Chain A
Amino acid sequence: MRTIASGLKLDTLKVDVNGNVVPVAYEHPWIVRICHWLNAISLFVLIGSGLRIFIAFPSFGPKIPQHNFLTVPKALTIGGWLGGALQWHFTFMWIFVGTGLFYVVYEVVTGKFREVLFRPRDAKGVWPMVRYYFLFGRKPELTEPYNALQKLAYTAAVLFGVLSALTGLVLYKPVQFRWLAFVFGGFHLTRVWHFLAMCGFLSFIPGHLVMVLLHGWNNFFSMLSGWKKGPEYLGR
């Protein structure tokens, strides 16, 4: 076990690979892993079925006259027809919100949120990471599991989840949650917010996937087994 920079304790071991001893860290407890994968599956289904629902009325304006906002190819959607898409959407919303809530509560209760929550003091670390990834800048030294850009991305993803769940609740029950509808500027505008939350995820996901690809098997495997071999912040 080691204490990492933000005061959080991380389970660590060493592994002897043919005489070469490397430190390993238990980065992702199994609860986090299960939440991650179930949440990823449900997000995939919710976006696919959500787009199919959107096709039924692809506009944010009035019904008469209807001005379509954009055309979504049916092949990119899930559910086949509006009713089928509603079934997928209304089933996986439970899994999405359930795993999301469980994850957030778990992070707060265990204090693990400290390693991933973006805070004002992380702001100064964002630009060096952007420079490193996109502008061939020097690689900033990493002293904890997540760098500033990762914290920003993951914190934003959680916020997109909160926004999509709350706006979804308003769209699902605009009368029962009329006060919440009011917070989002009314039923009509809530559809826009719900759509924007999806756009947030659609901007997060490709970046996330590209980074996972770039960082290789060891990093990817840590979201399956929890353990990461020789993470940079543990030193040599």
Chain B
Amino acid sequence: MDEPRSGQPPQSANETNSPGEEPSQAQSESQVGVPQRESEPVEPAMEPDAAEQTLTRSEWKKLNRRELLKLTPIVLAGAFVLPGLRTPLLREGVALGDWASGLLFSKTRLAPTFAPSAVVPFEKFPYNGYDVLDPGVDLDEWTLTVEGNVQRSGEYTLAQIRDLPKITHNVRHVCVEGWDAIGNFGGVRISDFLRSVGADPRALFLEVECADDYYESVDMDTAMHPQSLLCYEMYGKPLDRGHGAPLRFHFPTKIGYKHAKYLTGIRVTDVLKPARGYWEDQGYPWFAGI
């Protein structure tokens, strides 16, 4: 195939091929043209390696038409323009990300923890309430309702929760909006709490209700992650109203909107309610692992 290069312009080959012959054979061979060697640029060495067909105008048009037809898969992207298809397609796109996120998640891979010097001052840790910063929880009367696939369902006081081993760590809180802040969080492991109430270890989900009308649900793997907390302290002090007093979720492996505040009840379940989360039901991804 390698003809000597003379540097001359190609001979205008006059071979005419039989008009019916399909030029596509020649194409399919050359599409996977394996480079012969790495050579320095040479002068226009443009003689044909083999005899070139000369197409008539109509053959040329036919060839182009056939090539254009190969692009039809692109038309499928037009489905995103149609409102009736767009919504389900985008939902599937997000679901694909959630599925991949679930695969990526590891129960043992820890979120980075930071030295105290990296923690932002308490005043600079944002309150990101979606609605009100104080839903008026009566802290003296507050209990956590535990239900679902647990052996000891019922009402649990904050004191009972605090009896479990306390964990504090400095971790990065990542908001869906794009900002992040390293804060100090204290509480008990959700996994410890769930074991203490005899939750079914094979259950799939944890659903929560909040004193404001926020609601959330998470996969059990994330709930059982060693850094996932039922958080009652920030910066060594009891949660203030803005941060979700008296009890909130904190998941260093999830984006911020999963960290429900003002918890009033949790439910261990294998089947999620149709209402999966306040923001998720409006279009945010559900898994939201980071």
B44 in the interface (beta carbon within 8 A): yes
A176 and B283 contacting across the interface, CB-CB below 8 Å: no
Bound Cα distance A57, B256 (Å): 14
Which listed residue, B9, B33, B70, B73, touches A110 by the CB 8 Å rule?
A: B33
Which listed residue, B30, B109, B290, touches A9 by the CB 8 Å rule?
A: B30
A3 and B37 contacting across the interface, CB-CB below 8 Å: no
Q: Residues of B contacting A91 with CB < 8 Å? A: 89-90, 92-94, 96-97
By CB atoms of chain A within 10 A, which of B33, B64, B96 has the most? B33
Q: Residues of A contacting B2 with CB < 8 Å? A: 3
Bound Cα distance A84, B45 (Å): 54
Partner-binding segment picked from A11-19, A159-167, A203-211: A11-19
Residue of A nearest to B38 (CB): A7
Please provide the chain A residues from 40 to 55 with a CB less than 8 Å away from any CB of chain B in the complex: 41, 45, 53-54
Q: Mark A197-236, 1 if CB is under 8 A from B, else 0.
A: 0000000000000000000000001001111000001111
Q: Residues of A contacting B55 with CB < 8 Å? A: 13-16, 24
Which listed residue, B26, B39, B178, B279, touches A56 by the CB 8 Å rule?
A: B178
A21 in the interface (beta carbon within 8 A): yes
Residue of A nearest to B60 (CB): A15
Residue of A nearest to B280 (CB): A83
Partner-binding segment picked from B120-128, B156-164, B197-205: B120-128
Residue of A nearest to B33 (CB): A9
A57 and B177 contacting across the interface, CB-CB below 8 Å: yes
B44 and A30 contacting across the interface, CB-CB below 8 Å: no
Q: Residues of A contacting B12 with CB < 8 Å? A: 14, 21, 236
Please provide the chain B residues from 95 to 116 with a CB less than 8 Å away from any CB of chain A in the complex: 96-97, 101, 104-106, 109, 111-112
A1 and B124 contacting across the interface, CB-CB below 8 Å: no
B41 and A13 contacting across the interface, CB-CB below 8 Å: no
Bound Cα distance A38, B123 (Å): 46
B82 in the interface (beta carbon within 8 A): no
A90 and B71 contacting across the interface, CB-CB below 8 Å: no
Known pairs A3-B45, A174-B174; A13 contacts B34 (CB<8 A): no
Residue of A nearest to B128 (CB): A63
A57 and B124 contacting across the interface, CB-CB below 8 Å: no
A71 in the interface (beta carbon within 8 A): no
Residue of A nearest to B93 (CB): A91
Known pairs A30-B70, A92-B93; A5 contacts B44 (CB<8 A): yes
By CB atoms of chain A within 10 A, which of B71, B123, B126 has the most? B71
Known pairs A57-B178, A143-B43, A187-B172; A176 contacts B30 (CB<8 A): no
Q: Residues of A contacting B49 with CB < 8 Å? A: 1-3, 9
Minimum C-beta distance from B46 to chain A (A):
5
Bound Cα distance A23, B125 (Å): 67
Minimum C-beta distance from B129 to chain A (A):
14
Minimum C-beta distance from A104 to chain B (A):
16
Known pairs A18-B57, A176-B106, A227-B67; A111 contacts B35 (CB<8 A): yes
Which listed residue, A30, A57, A93, touches B179 by the CB 8 Å rule?
A: A57
Please provide the chain A residues from 160 to 209 with a CB less than 8 Å away from any CB of chain B in the complex: 172-176, 178, 187-188, 191
Bound Cα distance A121, B41 (Å): 9
Minimum C-beta distance from A167 to chain B (A):
13
| A→B interface (CB under 8 Å) | 1-18, 21, 23-24, 26, 29-30, 33-34, 37-38, 41, 45, 53-54, 56-57, 59, 62-64, 66, 82-84, 86-88, 90-95, 110-112, 114, 121, 141, 143-144, 172-176, 178, 187-188, 191, 221, 224-227, 233-236
* 23 examples of A-B residue contacts, CB within 8 angstroms: A1-B30, A1-B50, A2-B10, A3-B36, A5-B41, A5-B44, A7-B36, A8-B35, A18-B57, A26-B30, A37-B74, A62-B120, A64-B126, A83-B283, A87-B90, A87-B91, A87-B283, A91-B89, A94-B93, A111-B34, A176-B290, A191-B178, A233-B44
| B→A interface (CB under 8 Å) | 1-3, 5, 9-10, 12-14, 23, 26-27, 29-50, 52-57, 60, 63-64, 67-68, 70-71, 73-74, 77, 80, 89-94, 96-97, 101, 104-106, 109, 111-112, 120, 123-126, 172, 174-181, 252-253, 279, 282-285, 289-290
A11-B31, A45-B80, A53-B178 are known; give 11 further A-B pairs, CB within 8 A.
A1-B1, A2-B48, A3-B49, A7-B35, A9-B34, A11-B27, A26-B27, A173-B289, A176-B104, A176-B106, A227-B63
